[in-house]
Amino acid sequence: MIALDNRQAVIVSVSEQTNSEDRVVITLTPDNCVLTLTAQQARVLSTQIIQAVQRIEVKTSLAQPRQAMRRNQIPPMRNMENALLVK
């Protein structure tokens, strides 16, 4: 279950069918709106959701100031003669 705002939730479950293909069931509460998908349809939906999230993450990272990005980078190693190499 995924809790949303305003006491809403998304419940994802599997409906096992005896004589046909199992289905992915997505229920939106409290209205009990139900979306029943085949495995392929659920796969396509999940791929589209992941792609949308990645677009948001890229957009957010591009909006960060360049200085903040430089501050978070690991500083280069300067004295490599004294560094130990581990196998």
pLDDT in tens, 55-77: 999 998 888 776 655 666 666 66
Q: What is the value of pTM for the model shown?
A: 0.64
Q: What is the 3-state secondary structure (H, E, C) of 51-78?
A: HHHHHHHHHHHHHCCHHHHHHCCCCCCC
* Residues above pLDDT 90, as percent of the chain: 53
